[in-house]
A = this chain, B = another copy of it.
Amino acid sequence: MAIAEIITVGDELLSGETVDTNASYLDGELERLGFEVRRHTTVPDEVELIAEVFRAASERADLILCSGGLGPTEDDLTMLALATAMGCVLTRHEPTIVAIRERFARFGREMTPNNERQAMVPERGEVLENKAGTAPAFRAELGRAVIYLLPGVPREVRYLVQKVIGPRIDRGAPVLYRRTVKVVGLGESRLEHEIQAVVDAYRDRVRFGYRALSIENHIKLAVRGEGAFELIEEVSSALRAKLGDAIFGTDADELLSVVHRRLVASGRTVTTAESCTGGLVAKMLTELPGASSFFVGGVVAYANRAKTTLLDVPSALIESEGAVSEAVARAMAEGARRRFAVDVALSATGIAGPDGGSEEKPVGTVFIALADDKETVCVRLQLPGDRSTIRSNTALALLDLLRRRLG
């Protein structure tokens, strides 16, 4: 498989000011085009350093995409660095000068002299027109690699890859199939344990990866070559046989969108009664358009008196069991279901911390409940992490409870 490397250039990418989103975008596109990206390198705006990285990459890779440092200012040095790596000089590219001048005229502005810098390119190579901006892109050969220089502006990078560079480097049908199988409610090590037999059976032919995201875990499958699609289908079935409905989706599916879809399909209405999550569950349920078809409203009952006045939780119950208890979680869900006259009510009460924990109920103790026309179910969770992690995992666990209930 053809090997690619990505190089991004710019002081701002090394100072903590800018997160490099171009690299990740280029990864995805290169994979689609049949390349394996083996390395990213980010360097400051320094000619010698950029040139050195170009030379090193050109010994390892078939394709190098480099973004950044093609603008009109003095710290835009990528063209010069490429010329240095190639052992040639910069030359003035007249059609680019004309194009830049025309572009300025179109927006009713005059071209400032520093814009001519953008037309200075290595004497060996090909200028590629950039209709999305003023700085042209450039293609050259260096070592075993073909190298493309792109500007740093994400919009221009996208334009150039999709319209100009992509069609030229496309390796034909993708040779790598991937699938992400998404699981909720199992810890990473527990998950790995459960599927060990599947991994062992397929490890010679399938690459397995894991990613842990709070209470959500992703199993990543990658297969190269002939019969890859069928093999991924086979492994997915084997995983499903082991994990059942702990699997909530694949690839672009999100827990929230899956729940949203099932809610719409079920025709059922829902409400929320939240204490420790403080409105987060309601916020998530209303995140996607069309939420009004199932979500009537909800209550954030943070203080005990809100639990009694808005959700009819008996204050004697709060006193005897504590606000963080199974009995109160159940009463909150049942109270909300009655008040809002809906099919399903969700509730959460817990200790998100950092204070408020006790030996019996340490920080991270959370009770979540679901009440519908058949019964009320309640789950006690003991969640690790800080306040924000506990809150978001509580919300995810509650969405998952709803997902399983909706079937």
Q: A38-B44, A107-B382, A385-B155 are in contact. Are A297 and B289 (CB under 8 A)?
A: no
State whether B279 touches A286 (Cβ < 8 A). Answer: yes
Q: In the assembly, how many copies of this chain are there?
A: 2
Would you give the shortest CB distance from A27 to chain B, in whole angstroms? 4
Contacts of A384 in B (CB 8 A): 103, 107
Q: In the complex, what's the smallest C-beta–C-beta distance from A367 to chain B, in angstroms?
A: 15
A interface: dominant SS: mixed
A67 to chain B minimum Cβ distance, whole angstroms, is: 14
Task: Assess the B297–A302 pair: CB atoms within 8 A.
Answer: yes
Q: How far is the CA of A380 from the CA of B353 in the complex (A)?
A: 36
- Given A193-B114, A384-B107, is A73 in contact with B188 using a C-beta cutoff of 8 Å? yes
The answer, among B28, B72, B108, B353, for a CB contact under 8 Å with A188, is B72
1/0 contact string of A347-387 vs chain B (CB within 8 Å): 00000011100000000100000000000000000101111
Answer whether residue A136 sits at the interface, using C-beta atoms and an 8 A cutoff.
no
Residues of chain A at interface, number, CB under 8 A: 104
CA distance A384 to B385 in the complex (A): 35
Chain B minimum-CB-distance residue to A364: B107
Contacts of A193 in B (CB 8 A): 112-114
Contacting residues, chain B, for A178 (C-beta < 8 A): 15
On chain B, the residues within 8 Å of A281 by CB distance are 279
- Across-interface contacts of A180 in B (CB, < 8 A): 17
Q: With a CB–CB cut-off of 8 A, which chain B residues contact A39? A: 14, 41-43, 49, 53
* A residues with CB within 8 A of B: 11-21, 23-29, 31, 37-45, 49, 53, 71-75, 103, 107-109, 111-115, 153, 155, 178, 180, 187-190, 192-193, 208-212, 220, 272, 274, 277-283, 285-289, 291-292, 295-303, 305-307, 309-310, 339-340, 353-355, 364, 382, 384-389, 391
12 contacts between A and B (CB under 8 A): A11-B220, A15-B31, A40-B41, A73-B192, A278-B295, A279-B282, A279-B283, A282-B302, A287-B391, A292-B303, A297-B310, A310-B339
